[in-house]
């Protein structure tokens, strides 16, 4: 039993860095997509404190989206997969949506 636990811990220790690297990769990817595709209407960097952007930018700042208690990874993904009255339907792949969800949530508590 003890050996099993030790083996499991070794396995986890081996997996953790790979997982962290993958998450970091998705985070960068999400930031890149946000800058390229969403920044026309949203403030996409976390350090912008204003809730809404300048003229012509109609969407809420991503930091403000992240700060809402209702914003979860699932909520962002569902939002990006369903049609909206005020936001154009941007066609994103599953991987891009995952990356954007991770990126937007990373702006929470900054």
Q: Which residues contact ligand HEC by CB under 6 A? A: 37-38, 40-42, 58-60, 65, 76, 79-80, 84-88, 90, 100
CB 42, min distance to ligand HEC, A: 5
CB 11, min distance to ligand HEC, A: 35
* Comparison of 31 and 42: residue with beta carbon closer to ligand HEC: 42
* Comparison of 8 and 50: residue with beta carbon closer to ligand HEC: 50
The b/e string for 48-67 (b: 16+ C-beta within 10 A; e otherwise) is eeeeebeeeeebbbbbbbbe
CB 33, min distance to ligand HEC, A: 6
- Could you tell me which of 15, 20, 39 has the C-alpha nearest to residue 102? 20
Give the separation between CA 97 and CA 80, rounded to whole angstroms. Answer: 7
CB 24, min distance to ligand HEC, A: 19
| Contacts of residue 77, Cβ cutoff 8 Å, sequence gap at least 6 | 97, 98, 101
* Comparison of 3 and 27: residue with beta carbon closer to ligand HEC: 27
């Amino acid at each position: 039993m003890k050996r099993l636990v030790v083996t499991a811990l070794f396995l986890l220790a081996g997996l953790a860095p790979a997982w962290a690297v993958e998450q970091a990769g998705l985070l960068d990817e999400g930031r890149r997509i946000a800058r390229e595709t969403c920044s026309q209407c949203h403030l996409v960097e976390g350090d912008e404190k204003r809730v809404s952007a300048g003229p012509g930018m109609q969407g809420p700042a991503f930091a403000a989206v992240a700060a809402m208690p209702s914003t979860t990874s699932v909520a962002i993904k569902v939002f990006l997969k369903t049609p909206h009255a005020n936001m154009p339907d941007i066609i994103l792949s599953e991987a891009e949506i995952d990356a954007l969800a991770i990126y937007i949530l990373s702006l929470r508590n900054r």
